[in-house]
């Protein structure tokens, strides 16, 4: 089997307590004044102050932007960058969930490239930001979910066209400290970890999976299966937190080449239409998507089931393997209190009305099985009834 694994250019410092080294790492990068990007919730949780203290103790000045919003809108990236340019910062630190990290990445691009951020969308193949003068960025995830510390881009909401866009931006360092996720509310733990579970399973089941991504994805799936229920039940379980945090980073790496397929491709549009958090929207159809894929990749789906701690019957037909995968993940969702599609959408008819928009937005390039509008309708209807 030959295929491409896009080895990440993002160095990562991982381990309990490593966020205390933020200031020293900035000094090593030559920073004297940095823009610190976060949202008000992370600040209220006391996490930002821990990072600010580390930075200031290293003798580095800070300028703060606390306006990060979920599914970061383009204008917030431009606001953050304007503050950084005005203060003449020489680096960026992004602290928080995926939205904060992606806002920081976009701000890094605009510190040294003229706005608007829409100029640099990956979809515009002819325009790339000039990386020559770019200032360094350190990203510090406080959820175990998006794996944004491992991926060379930020996902941004284009508010003019109401769609998600990717902006290329490597990070200079990811500081991944599981201690920062201790005490995270169960609802946030669950929906962000479900995003990581999707990344890993979608990489493993992608038409473009490869030997390297498989190793990363399998370990991530196993870690999430072993630790998610524990962390949801007891947010102070440090071992479970470390397992989930490692899984999120591995899962982020695993999609570097295979990318995501059916659950994310449905979820990105579903989330935009029905205002669902990214992890919730993408994980919503994971059980049904695996049932859909089982006829073409039964052995891979059976492996996922085993990695999640269940055992499909020996020599089971594909339909039975698909049902086992669907039921295993549905049971996990019940255990952890994962939201239901009906929590966000009033009727099945309403959710099915989103199918044309999903088909228009997404090419399903990485699905191992061709995906029709009727298939998406079936997946959504089954998810709604679950
Ligand atoms: Fe995701």
> Residue 6 pLDDT > 90, yes or no?
no
Enter the pTM of the model: 0.94
Over its C-alpha atoms, the chain yields an Rg (Å, rounded) of 20
* pLDDT value of position 307: 98
* pLDDT value of position 227: 97
Q: Picking from 1-5, 192-196, 273-277, 323-327, which range would have the lowest pLDDT averaged per residue?
A: 1-5
Ligand 1 centroid from CA 30, angstroms: 32
Ligand 1 centroid from CA 200, angstroms: 10
> Residue 123 pLDDT > 70, yes or no?
yes
Are 262 and 293 in contact by the 8 Å Cβ rule? The answer is yes
* pLDDT value of position 179: 96
> Residue 208 pLDDT > 90, yes or no?
yes
Please state, in angstroms and rounded to a whole number, the distance separating the CA atoms of residues 271 and 281. Answer: 5
* pLDDT value of position 124: 82
* pLDDT value of position 10: 83
Ligand 1 centroid from CA 281, angstroms: 9
Using a CB cutoff of 5 Å, list residues around ligand 1, an ion: 195
Ligand 1 centroid from CA 293, angstroms: 19
> Residue 29 pLDDT > 70, yes or no?
yes
Mean pLDDT of 315-343: 97
Ligand 1 centroid from CA 37, angstroms: 20
Q: Taking Cα atoms as reference points, which of 367, 339, 347, 325 lies closest to residue 195?
A: 339
Convert the pLDDT of each residue in 346-374 to its tens digit.
Answer: 999 999 999 999 999 989 999 999 999 99
Q: DSSP state, 73?
A: B
Ligand 1 centroid from CA 47, angstroms: 23
What H or E segment, with its residue span, contains residue 342?
Answer: none
Q: Taking Cα atoms as reference points, which of 27, 37, 15 lies closest to residue 176?
A: 15
Are 92 and 138 in contact by the 8 Å Cβ rule? The answer is yes
CATH code that applies to domain 12-181? 3.40.50.1970
Convert the pLDDT of each residue in 133-185 to its tens digit.
Answer: 899 999 999 999 999 999 989 999 999 998 889 999 989 999 999 999 997 88
Ligand 1 centroid from CA 362, angstroms: 15
Ligand 1 centroid from CA 107, angstroms: 20
10 Å CB burial of residue 378 (0-12, 13-18, 19+) is: middle
* Mean pLDDT of all residues belonging to the chain: 95
Instruction: Supply 265's token pair.
Output: 């491709």
Q: Which CATH number fits domain 186-385: 2.60.210.10, 1.20.1090.10, 3.40.50.300, 3.40.50.10480?
A: 1.20.1090.10
Bridging pattern class, strands 33-37 and 61-65: parallel
How would residue 237 be classed by pLDDT, with cut points 50, 70 and 90?
very high
Instruction: Supply 157's token pair.
Output: 């909401």
Ligand 1 centroid from CA 287, angstroms: 16
Sketch the domain layout of the chain as residue ranges: 12-181, 186-385
Give whole-number Cα distances, 240 to 95, 181, 336, 359, in Å. Answer: 21, 10, 14, 38
Ligand 1 centroid from CA 146, angstroms: 5
Are 150 and 174 in contact by the 8 Å Cβ rule? The answer is yes
Separation of first and last alpha carbons in the chain:
37
Mean pLDDT of 200-223: 97
* pLDDT value of position 373: 98
> Residue 276 pLDDT > 80, yes or no?
yes
Ligand 1 centroid from CA 129, angstroms: 24
> Residue 78 pLDDT > 70, yes or no?
yes
Q: Taking Cα atoms as reference points, which of 10, 325, 339, 3 lies closest to residue 175?
A: 10
CA 333 from centre of chain: 18
* pLDDT value of position 1: 58
Verify cis geometry, omega within 30 degrees of 0, for the bond prior to 94: no
Ligand 1 centroid from CA 282, angstroms: 7
Ligand 1 centroid from CA 309, angstroms: 23
Mean pLDDT of 75-104: 98
* pLDDT value of position 2: 64
Q: Taking Cα atoms as reference points, which of 193, 202, 199, 247 lies closest to residue 223?
A: 247
* pLDDT value of position 310: 94
How would residue 3 be classed by pLDDT, with cut points 50, 70 and 90?
low
Mean pLDDT of 47-56: 97
Convert the pLDDT of each residue in 145-159 to its tens digit.
Answer: 999 999 989 999 999
What H or E segment, with its residue span, contains residue 236?
Answer: none
Convert the pLDDT of each residue in 247-263 to its tens digit.
Answer: 999 999 999 989 999 99
Ligand 1 centroid from CA 89, angstroms: 30
Mean pLDDT of 310-326: 93
> Residue 329 pLDDT > 70, yes or no?
yes
Mean pLDDT of 208-213: 94
């Amino acid at each position: 089997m030959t295929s491409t694994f896009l080895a990440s250019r993002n160095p990562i410092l991982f381990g309990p307590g490593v966020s205390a080294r933020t200031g020293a790492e900035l000094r090593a990068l030559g920073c004297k004044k940095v823009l610190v990007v976060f949202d008000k919730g992370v600040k209220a949780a006391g996490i930002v102050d821990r990072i600010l203290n580390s930075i200031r103790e290293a003798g580095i000045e800070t300028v703060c932007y606390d306006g990060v919003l979920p599914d970061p809108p383009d204008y917030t990236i431009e606001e953050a960058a304007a503050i950084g340019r005005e203060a003449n910062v020489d680096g960026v630190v992004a602290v928080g969930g995926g939205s904060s990290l992606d806002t920081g990445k976009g701000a890094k691009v605009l510190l040294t490239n003229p706005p608007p951020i829409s100029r640099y969308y990956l979809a515009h193949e002819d325009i790339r930001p000039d990386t020559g003068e770019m200032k360094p960025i350190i990203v510090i995830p406080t959820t175990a979910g998006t794996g944004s510390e491992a991926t060379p881009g930020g996902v941004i909401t284009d508010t003019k066209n109401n769609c998600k866009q990717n902006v290329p931006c490597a990070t200079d360092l990811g500081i991944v400290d599981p201690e920062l996720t201790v005490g995270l509310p169960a609802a946030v733990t669950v929906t962000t970890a479900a995003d990581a579970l999707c990344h890993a399973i979608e990489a493993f089941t992608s038409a473009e999976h490869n030997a390297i991504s498989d190793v990363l994805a399998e370990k991530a799936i196993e870690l999430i299966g072993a630790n998610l229920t524990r962390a949801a039940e007891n947010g102070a379980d440090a071992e479970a937190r470390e397992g989930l945090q490692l899984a999120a980073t591995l899962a982020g790496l695993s999609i570097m080449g295979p990318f995501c397929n059916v659950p994310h491709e449905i979820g990105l549009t579903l989330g935009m239409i029905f205002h669902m958090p990214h992890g919730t929207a993408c994980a919503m159809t994971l059980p049904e998507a695996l049932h859909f894929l089982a006829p073409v990749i039964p052995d891979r789906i059976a492996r996922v089931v085993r990695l999640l701690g269940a055992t499909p019957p020996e020599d089971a037909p594909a339909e039975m393997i698909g049902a086992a995968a669907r039921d295993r993940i549905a049971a996990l969702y019940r255990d952890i209190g994962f939201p239901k599609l009906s929590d966000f959408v009033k009727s099945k008819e309403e959710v099915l009305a989103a199918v044309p928009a999903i088909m228009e937005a997404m090419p399903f390039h990485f699905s191992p099985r061709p995906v029709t509008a009727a298939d998406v309708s079936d997946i959504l209807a089954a998810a709604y009834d679950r």
